[in-house]
Structure 1
Amino acid sequence: MPFPDTVSTLAHALAERGYEEPTAVQAAVLADDAQGRDLLVSARTGSGKTVAFGLAMASELLDEHGKALPTQLPLAIVIAPTRELALQVKTELSWLYAGTGAKIVSCVGGMEPRREARALSMGCHIVVGTPGRLCDHLARKNLNLSGVKVAVLDEADEMLDLGFREELETLLDATPTERRTFLFSATIAREIARLAKRYQRDALRIDTIGDNAPHADIEYRAVIADQSEMIGAIINVLRFVESPCAMVFCHTREGVRQMQAALLQNGFSSVAISGDLGQNERSRALESLRNGQARVCVATDVAARGIDVPTLGLVIHASLPSNPATLLHRSGRTGRAGRKGLCVLVTTPARRRQADRLLHAAGVAATWMPVPSPDAIREADAERLLADEALSREPTAEQLQLAERLVAERTPTQLATALVTLWQNGLPKPVSVRVITPGAPSPRTPRDAAQRERPMRERSDHNTGESGEWFKLSVGRNDKADPKWLVPVICRLGGVTKKDIGAIRIAPAYTLVEIASSKATRFAECASAADADEITITPAAAPSGNDAPPPARGRTPGSGKPWKRGAKPAGNGARSSRKKPPRS
């Protein structure tokens, strides 16, 4: 079905970009019953929703000739959860409105605010930004929203998960009540419904996901490798799967640094994206990926939304996502706009069940397979060499002359050997890793069996009787970490109660805490949205061996106030001088 009649300038832009027919979400927002109404839309990432709301807002921004209306104040505001997504939205709207004369200004963290303020003072039609930076410009009176006709909340569920509800309300309250409001979200949860009820009028509900079915254009696979061979397994997956570019997701910034260093050392051209990089560095990394200078991007979940690279055909989860939504958003970097993509989870035998639960909760069916072996990679390389288009391409006169000379002076075997050598020299070397057949029982030590027989023995006063999953907190003994104040903080940040907390093991620089398995998914989801300036919580392997921190005394009174980021540990990291409590 072709695009319905739309503004000529926008139709020309769509034709230039190769758009022949609308996606499901684009057709829905352009339908007759959607004209002039507020929209509450469920749409997955990669479905073309940016173009969808760009077309839907055109009637409020353009005249009958398809030109932008004269204005000094913004006529539309688009709010996105992350810098990358906001800049991606600006890029999409820029080519869509290129022929209209509309001015588009972005306001995101990491950019020079004075430059943004100057752009706003010169007037614009559309302002795109993140909640915090937009509120900052609003408070400084650089941004006037009294002329807004359309407000768009993109990835509204993510913005609420990140704690931006107050900022969203501030921005929407600053716009006229008669505006149109478009609310786009992967899911319409209770909080989204409340927001829609307060700020939308008679909104048209559009669901293009269909009961949250997984993306049909993405194939899922999962591989098992020993913890010590995870990087080698990822290298082999990258070598085995033919993709112009790929993304590897890690939980932490340190994980990103280690992974990229290993990839560079093994011959992969790679870039990194994480929260400790400035916006200019992130933009350069993405540009390197888009223009082919880099093949692999290693990133934290900061890149799980808003990254659109047309040639990205492979996503690897080097660490398991904390919840099903993160799994789907990470994976949604591939399989976009009708293109096929592959998503691979790499996990350890101990986390096989956790991975199965995660895939089931996301509604995804994955094929379990062993790590590709060097022999399998070499076989795949041979097939790719034989299918390379260079072997069937018509040679130029210069190439033909040199080819005839080579044929005359060398044997066919010598020429073929030289071709294979040149081909292999340009490829990273595969890694020899232990092949673990999915489904086979993993070896366990007597210590493991003893731990399973005594789940959560420490803190038996709060024991639920369940086995638990472990998480790592970014505070430890050097920060005066103590169960007395750790337990309330864990409950508050993770949305659990005291009885859900098992063993607590405090090391000098970090703390390991065990959470009941039935609450682990909820805990990880809540903890991932915690303020990074307070405490960082990430999944962890169960402590074992001599390096495991000792168990903490349950409910031991501690000295000092609860730790805050930036506070100096007492005694330069030395052990506290407080007296031990008497044994009960």
Structure 2
Amino acid sequence: MPFSSLPRPIAEALADRGYATPTPVQAQVIEADAHMRDLLVSAQTGSGKTVAYALAIAENLLEGAEFLAPPTEPMALIIAPTRELALQVQRELIWLYAKTGARIVSCVGGMDVRREQRNLANGAHIIVGTPGRLRDHLERGHLLSQSLRAVVLDEADEMLDLGFREDLEEILDATPPERRTLLFSATMPKPIAALAKRYQRDALRIITTSERAQHSDIDYRAVAVAPADIEHAVVNILRFHEANGAMIFCATRENVRRLHAALSERGFHAVALSGELSQNERNHALQALRDRRARVCVATDVAARGIDLPDLGLVIHAELPIDPETLQHRSGRTGRAGRKGICVLIAPYPRRRHAERLMRAANVNAQWEAVPSPQDIRIRDQERLIETLTLGENSDEDLETAAKLLETLDPQQIAAAFARMHRTTLPAPEELFDAGPPPRDEGPRAGFEDTMWFRLNVGRNGNADPRWLLPLLCRRGHITKREVGAIRILATETRFEIPRAISAKFAAALKRTAGEEDGVTIEPADGPPPPQERGAPRGPKRPGAPRPPHRHQPRPYKGRRG
């Protein structure tokens, strides 16, 4: 069904914003079969679902008219899981309903509650809010619900995951039984089905995309790095792609704070989003991204729910998501509304198999590749610079300046100076730690004629690998990779040699850094591994064998979630 069939003010608002044809979910909610019915909708992130349910409830609000009467008690209630999503929905509804005379009020946690009370007292046609704040206004008598004609639950699965079931049930129980209920959810687990069964009547089920189609506009990449190189990998991925907008996901608030500080120090225009920020700080961060004053957002999963940023072309999982649903949600921040996006998963070497299982469960097919090297980045910088120079038109002033430059300098000097000036505006790429292949038995190399052996309590059965062990030894022992000799990975432990001249310094550093890698101990050994152990075949993993801890993350990867 085309937009022209909608009420005139709505159709004009869509045309003014450049909407020519409806997306699949928008088309289905305005079909005749969906007219005035409860809807249970599964739609992928970025499919235009906010506009979809705004179009669906327009008939409840306007009832055939083109303009709304002055506001009194609210006629529609939209519930969203987070402050950012609720405010984003409010902005969408304001432009869509602008020509109908609709008054749209938000009620979200972290904002001035007295101002919200005044707004509710002055009347509103549509209320957009978060469950906790809406319940509070309802219990205090500020939110009058008996005139509601439609209730929308946006990202219902996220609201249940965040523990808002009781809030939602209290709000829905207070609304008129004849109201229309529209439930939008990316997934349909049993709790969502139970909620729909209790509060919806003869709901029309709408599924607009298959699981495979959810990833059709996203180019997935995966890289495996030493745990100590995760931060450097993030830097090089950002520099290689130079997306107009990028979002980096971390697991905890502390990790967001540390990674944001590290990127800002390197010259990236970055903002942070996490639960520890005030609402005002979060609003400023989001506005900086929308105004293009910032191009990189470092966020936790909770803080990034429901955020839709313009031209977000790159998503980086600096820490692996906890489950397939989180992987899909994070990745869905890019590749929205027909635009292409790139998603890069960074997997520490010990967790590569876990990353592969996670992607299989999420129905994601990612291409494994190396982290871009400084040389790769320099080549891309040159290509982008040449492309930039060929675009646009030169003014008379520009041509005059160029002529004066050519009078004093030759073209090669001018080009070199311009390239140098351009390069200084960009953050420098990082050299990653390259552990290289395991050492071979070719006799002691120079400086390792007299060595001392140490041991770790992680072996083959625990996925020990020089690619993550070597950076660990360097970090814990305050040495360089050139000061580590042979590494022998046995079934349940790993032994390695250190020049005796620095062994005391190495052992002292181990005592100072004890506890940094939870579950991994390093201590002096009684000598090299027994000859019969060397090169022993990999056997089946024994139950209870030590495994590399999942906390093998470089700083900044500690802290509370959210």
**Which TM-score tier does this pair reach, normalised by the shorter chain?**
0.7 to 0.9
Q: Secondary structure at the match of 2:216?
A: coil
Paired with 2:383 and 2:34, the residues of 1 have a C-alpha distance of 51
Count of equivalent residues: 464
Q: Give the aligned partner of residue 239 of structure 1.
A: 239
Give, in angstroms, the shift of residue 434 of structure 1: 2.8
Q: Give the aligned partner of residue 376 of structure 1.
A: 376
Contact map agreement 1:310 1:336 (CA 8 A) in 2: no
Which amino acid in 2 is paired with 1:167? D
1:140-195 residue CA offsets vs partner (Å, 9 max, x unmatched): 11111100000000001111111111111100011000011000001111111111
User: How many percent of aligned residue pairs carry the same amino acid?
Assistant: 56
Paired with 2:438 and 2:120, the residues of 1 have a C-alpha distance of 62
Paired with 1:511 and 1:396, the residues of 2 have a C-alpha distance of 62
Q: Secondary structure at the match of 2:98?
A: coil
Q: Are 1:419 and 2:395 matched, yes or no?
A: no
Contact map agreement 2:150 2:181 (CA 8 A) in 1: yes
Alignment of 1:16-165 (within 5 A): 16-165=16-165
Q: Are 1:397 and 2:396 matched, yes or no?
A: yes
Q: Give the aligned partner of residue 458 of structure 2.
A: 448
Paired with 2:344 and 2:223, the residues of 1 have a C-alpha distance of 7
Higher CA-based Rg: 2
Q: Give the aligned partner of residue 316 of structure 1.
A: 316
Q: Give the aligned partner of residue 385 of structure 2.
A: 385
Paired with 1:210 and 1:351, the residues of 2 have a C-alpha distance of 29
Q: Secondary structure at the match of 1:370?
A: coil
Give, in angstroms, the shift of residue 512 of structure 1: 7.7
1:514-541 residue CA offsets vs partner (Å, 9 max, x unmatched): xxx9xxxxxxxxxxxxxxxxxxxxx942
Which amino acid in 1 is paired with 2:414? L
The two structures have a TM-score, normalised by structure 2, of 0.79
Q: Secondary structure at the match of 2:259?
A: helix
Q: Are 1:541 and 2:551 matched, yes or no?
A: yes
Relative to 1, partners in 2 of residues 1:511 and 1:89: Cα closer, same or farther, differing over 3 Å?
farther
Structure 2 stretches lacking a partner, 5+ long: 441-454, 465-513, 521-540, 542-548, 554-562
Which amino acid in 2 is paired with 1:419? F
Paired with 1:252 and 1:357, the residues of 2 have a C-alpha distance of 22
Q: Are 1:264 and 2:241 matched, yes or no?
A: no
Structure 1 stretches lacking a partner, 5+ long: 455-506, 518-538, 544-584
Of structures 1 and 2, the one with the larger relative CO (CA 8 A, separation 6+) is: 2
Give, in angstroms, the shift of residue 447 of structure 1: 3.1
Paired with 1:452 and 1:305, the residues of 2 have a C-alpha distance of 35
Q: Give the aligned partner of residue 494 of structure 2.
A: none
Alignment of 1:343-382 (within 5 A): 343-382=343-382
Contact map agreement 2:71 2:103 (CA 8 A) in 1: no
Paired with 2:160 and 2:403, the residues of 1 have a C-alpha distance of 67
Alignment of 1:204-353 (within 5 A): 204-211=204-211, 213-353=213-353
Paired with 2:170 and 2:517, the residues of 1 have a C-alpha distance of 37
Which amino acid in 2 is paired with 1:262? A
Paired with 2:108 and 2:288, the residues of 1 have a C-alpha distance of 21
The two structures have a TM-score, normalised by structure 1, of 0.76
Aligned-pair RMSD on alpha carbons? 2.6
Paired with 2:397 and 2:55, the residues of 1 have a C-alpha distance of 51
Moved over 4 A (4+): 440-443, 507-513
Contact map agreement 2:250 2:319 (CA 8 A) in 1: yes
Contact map agreement 1:103 1:124 (CA 8 A) in 2: yes
1:479-535 residue CA offsets vs partner (Å, 9 max, x unmatched): xxxxxxxxxxxxxxxxxxxxxxxxxxxx9999989xxx9xxxxxxxxxxxxxxxxxx
Q: Give the aligned partner of residue 12 of structure 1.
A: 12
Q: Secondary structure at the match of 2:215?
A: coil
Paired with 2:122 and 2:438, the residues of 1 have a C-alpha distance of 66
Q: Secondary structure at the match of 1:346?
A: strand
Q: Give the aligned partner of residue 430 of structure 2.
A: 431
Relative to 1, partners in 2 of residues 1:453 and 1:48: Cα closer, same or farther, differing over 3 Å?
closer
Which amino acid in 2 is paired with 1:182? L
1:68-119 residue CA offsets vs partner (Å, 9 max, x unmatched): 2444111000011111111111111111111111111111111011111110
